[in-house]
Amino acid sequence: MPPLAQRNLFHDKVRLTVTLTGIVFAVVLIVVELGLFVGFTKTTSGLIDHSNADLWITSRNVPYIEQGVAFSERKLNQVRAVSGVEDAEKYIAHWTQWKLPNGSEESVQIVGINVESNLGRPWNLVQGRVEDLKNPNAIILDELYKEKLGVTRVNQIVEINGHRARVVGFTHGIRSFTTSPYVFTTFKNAQDYTGLREDQAYYILVTLAPGANAKQVQYDILAQVKDVDVLTTPQFSHMTQFYWMFTTGAGVAVLLAAVLGLVVGFVVVAQTIYATTVDHLREYGTLKAMGAPNRYVYKVIVKQAAISALIGYVLGMIVSAFVVHASQSGGAAILLPLPLAVGMFFLTLIMCIGAAMISINKVTRLDPAMVFKG
């Protein structure tokens, strides 16, 4: 086919610019909103997803990680006695107060771990080592929250819930979905910082023995340990994500903004492609008079939409990449995983071709006899 679609599209540079601007705007808006959604979702369950645990043992009906209810640490031995459990460790994730240099207080989430174990450790360390937590009152926090917590350097002494603490390292990119930064420390320190009794814990993290059946171990723990829930890491992760993203409405708001981007993009693209089609209506009438079936004309219009989609997508993703990169140093990370990037391409294509359908409807009803009218 002669390049009618391309020529019609590129002939009017102003209209092409408007079309591409509309698509780029829609792509960036959708990518940013969906990227925020993905980023928020991953952030809510970051501690769980990076825990290296196979199972999480919680008090009954704990809906999400920040809402843990303390239980007796004697359950730890009961859990370790269950067949198929290779390792089990006590774990704390709980809010407490951090005293700022100016005397005011900031809420933080203390994460207490067994440093000797591989479970629940901080990740992405950029300064210090996890083993440094063995030092007295040692804590590790994320460099994103240095300013917020008034921390400038390693070895700085701070106060948490009336207890002395010393910064021994920094992580990078461990965000908290709430405004309370995570502060990693030993289980014992965490008990002190959160005011938890010495014989209590909030969670038990379990590693399964090689070849153990997770469902069977879950069942056995439930049978042998009273008043607990046993969740796989993905189950607890999804529960936490669902709570924060949908029960609170935060995720719905972000998704609505993404839908809004889609609608705005659709309208702009539909309007410009419709205007382009109307401009070339006489040509389409000539094509039909020459004997072109409707599908031939549709192909020209759909091709225009597809070319617009492709160019708009590429430009949109370039802009989005800058936005995503810039967000990494901020409090809310925008993530752009490959499935989102690929899915966005098809969404852009569907949006543009869907918009072209409005024009196709106009061409379908076009009377080829118009070619004889002057």
- Given the rule CB under 8 A, which residues bind another protein? 1-4, 7-8, 11, 282-283, 286-293, 296, 368-369, 371-372, 374
Around 315, how many Cα atoms within 13 Å sit in the side-chain half-sphere? 15
* Closer to another protein by Cβ: residue 113 or 287: 287
* Closer to another protein by Cβ: residue 149 or 287: 287
Q: How many Å apart are CA 236 and CA 230, to the nearest integer?
A: 9
State the minimum distance, in angstroms, from the CB of residue 178 to another protein: 57
State the minimum distance, in angstroms, from the CB of residue 374 to another protein: 7
In the three-class reduction of DSSP (H, G, I as helix; E, B as strand; rest coil), residue 123 is classed as: coil
Q: How many Å apart are CA 288 and CA 295, to the nearest integer?
A: 10
State the minimum distance, in angstroms, from the CB of residue 282 to another protein: 7
* Closer to another protein by Cβ: residue 153 or 295: 295
State the minimum distance, in angstroms, from the CB of residue 368 to another protein: 5
Q: How many Å apart are CA 122 and CA 287, to the nearest integer?
A: 66
Quick count: other Cβ atoms within 10 Å of Cβ 176? 21
* Closer to another protein by Cβ: residue 5 or 335: 5
For residue 134, the 8-state DSSP code is G
For residue 349, the 8-state DSSP code is H
State the minimum distance, in angstroms, from the CB of residue 301 to another protein: 14
* Closer to another protein by Cβ: residue 2 or 103: 2
State the minimum distance, in angstroms, from the CB of residue 250 to another protein: 49
CA 138, 142, 143, 148 torsion-angle sign: negative
* Closer to another protein by Cβ: residue 28 or 287: 287
Q: How many Å apart are CA 304 and CA 319, to the nearest integer?
A: 22
Contacts of 17 by beta carbon, 8 Å cutoff, 6+ apart: none
The secondary structure of 232-258 as a DSSP string is EHHHHHHHHHHIIIIISSHHHHHHHHH
Q: How many Å apart are CA 78 and CA 338, to the nearest integer?
A: 43
State the minimum distance, in angstroms, from the CB of residue 361 to another protein: 15
* Closer to another protein by Cβ: residue 276 or 348: 276
